[in-house]
Amino acid sequence: PSCQNQTYKTNTFKNKNRPTHTPFKLDRNQTVNRTKDQFKLQGIKKNLLAFFRHLQTQTPIMSQPNNNQNLSTFMNSGFYYFKGSNTVFIDPVRVLNQSYTQFTVTPSSYYSRFFEPNLQTDEHLIISEHKRKRKRKEKKVRELNEREQAADQRHQRVKPLLMKAHECLLEADDLLLNLGKLRIDDCGTFEPKSTVESDEQSFVELGSVWQAPLFEIALHINQDHRLTQDCTFVQNCEKRNVPAFGSLVANETNSDMEADFLNRRYIIPKRSSFYMSDLKQIHGLIPGKHECGFNLIVIDPPWENGSANQKLKYPTLPNRYFLSLPIQRLAHADGALVALWVTNKEKLRIFVEKDLFPKWGVKYMATHYWLKVKADGSLISELDLFHHRPYECLILGYYYGKDEDSEHLSQLKSIPDCQVYISIPGDYSRKPPVGEILHEYIPGLEPARCLELFARELLGGWTSWGNEPLRFQDSRYFTRKHQ
């Protein structure tokens, strides 16, 4: 249709104080060119989407030959260390799979976000370019308050470090080309995210009802394997019912364990245990002797967060509640390394430095950073985006235990500051497993006793506490290994 006489107004506001603008017209040639541009952009979008889906159906990384030592190590361990840098890329799926013998974490279920490319066309830029420019001029810049200024200063200090770490990723062609395949299963297939979350158990709600002490979880304890007449192995299992809430549930074997709870199947990794309760019952986790305490304590508190409340992903707690965590009674007599996840809110950083660590008896040592990227290697948001920056902080400190003399302190290994972890995020607020990286800084003798507070998944060799430690242990998040 002819657009020769069509008029596009740039000022639709009825504000008398706002200056008026003269309407402008597009001639026929301009309109035709604009329409052609729209079709071109739509075609580019379709081609890129098709290409991206094609990449996701290709052979998984582990079956591709390569001579790169870093990539080879990454395929086995899940850690890619960049040479000459304090940056490491983490594939949480490969790290978590070190805890399992019969099952594997399904990559397509872990990586539920940030794999679809953001290919929004620029049609609206072509149609309303003049209008966007006018709006941008009218936007008022709000002055930062004192606390926001302090947060911005802290961000500016760490920004060069994060930019350099991101450059390391973008320069690692071998790794970068394979990021899009991390969600492919070992069999070479990709399963889109299903409705796993639609009918999951709400452990938070179950733990709050009066029947909670009566709930039991049935553990399938593997006893032995028997060879039948047709030359097939049959596994003999014994079922043991134990309280699900307010009790330490442990898998002390060197193999995975399956467990049934309210008609659902869960996978318990080898040499792991969990204690499911709310904060008021955490004292049931305290060991009888300090010699049986924990050398590494990783804490991921449900900080009050407007975004978390908005998404209704999990309940949060006021900051003052975390002052009551019995860190000193949970720690080993030889001391403990405490790792605390925090967001970029300046209020939280001040609270941790001035109130929380002193209350716990923990001395600050270093800060590490988790930089979040998409499957194409780009950051999940702009680095300077004030309220949604693409990184979080891991604050590290030592609890020295019974010996705080100079000889004991000299035996503790110095923790490097400003180390950067890069990974593609999984589910909302699910942190990458960094215990292996922190292992060399753990005080005390081997093997270290490791504890995660406010856990939502289990790790081999760890004890996990929280009101939903089985959150990501549902069998639908796993694939049974081929026998």
Helix (H) or strand (E) holding 273: strand 272-276
Percentage of residues in the chain having pLDDT higher than 90: 56
Pick from 210, 182, 208, 229: which is nearest to 60 by CA? Answer: 182
pLDDT the model gives residue 474: 96
Task: Determine contact, residues 390/339, Cβ cutoff 8 Å.
Answer: no
pLDDT the model gives residue 154: 92
- Our count of domains for the chain comes to 1
pLDDT the model gives residue 313: 65
pLDDT the model gives residue 366: 97
For 405-430, the pLDDT digits (tens) are 555 555 678 899 999 999 999 988 89
Specify if 26 maps to a domain: no
d(CA 164, CA 91): 20
Specify if 168 maps to a domain: no
Specify if 58 maps to a domain: no
Helix (H) or strand (E) holding 162: helix 146-171
Query: Residue 288 belongs to what domain range?
Result: 203-480
Q: Give φ, ψ of 209 to 5 degrees.
A: -85, 160
- Mean pLDDT, residues 80-99: 95
Mean of pLDDT over the chain: 81
Task: Determine contact, residues 331/293, Cβ cutoff 8 Å.
Answer: yes
- Mean pLDDT, residues 217-236: 67
Q: Give φ, ψ of 233 to 5 degrees.
A: -90, 135
Evaluate if pTM is beyond 0.85: no
Report residue 70's pLDDT band, with 50, 70 and 90 as the boundaries.
Answer: confident
pLDDT the model gives residue 12: 42
pLDDT the model gives residue 147: 84
Specify if 149 maps to a domain: no
Task: Reply yes or no on whether the pLDDT at 127 is more than 50.
Answer: no
d(CA 194, CA 262): 21
Specify if 144 maps to a domain: no
Percentage of residues in the chain having pLDDT higher than 70: 70
Helix (H) or strand (E) holding 275: strand 272-276
pLDDT the model gives residue 122: 43
Pick from 314, 206, 220, 213: which is nearest to 267 by CA? Answer: 220
Residues whose CB falls within 8 Å of the CB of residue 466, separated by 6 or more in sequence, listed in order: 276, 452, 453, 454, 455, 456
For 169-210, the pLDDT digits (tens) are 999 999 998 898 898 876 555 555 544 555 678 899 999 999
Specify if 140 maps to a domain: no
Highest-scoring range by mean pLDDT, 4-8, 108-112, 354-358: 354-358
Specify if 40 maps to a domain: no
d(CA 246, CA 260): 17
Q: Say if residue 16 is exposed, middle or buried (CB neighbours under 10 Å; 0-12, 13-18, 19+).
A: exposed
Domain CATH for 352: 3.40.50.150
Length of the chain: 483
Specify if 78 maps to a domain: no
d(CA 361, CA 52): 50
Residues whose CB falls within 8 Å of the CB of residue 172, separated by 6 or more in sequence, listed in order: 70, 80, 82, 89
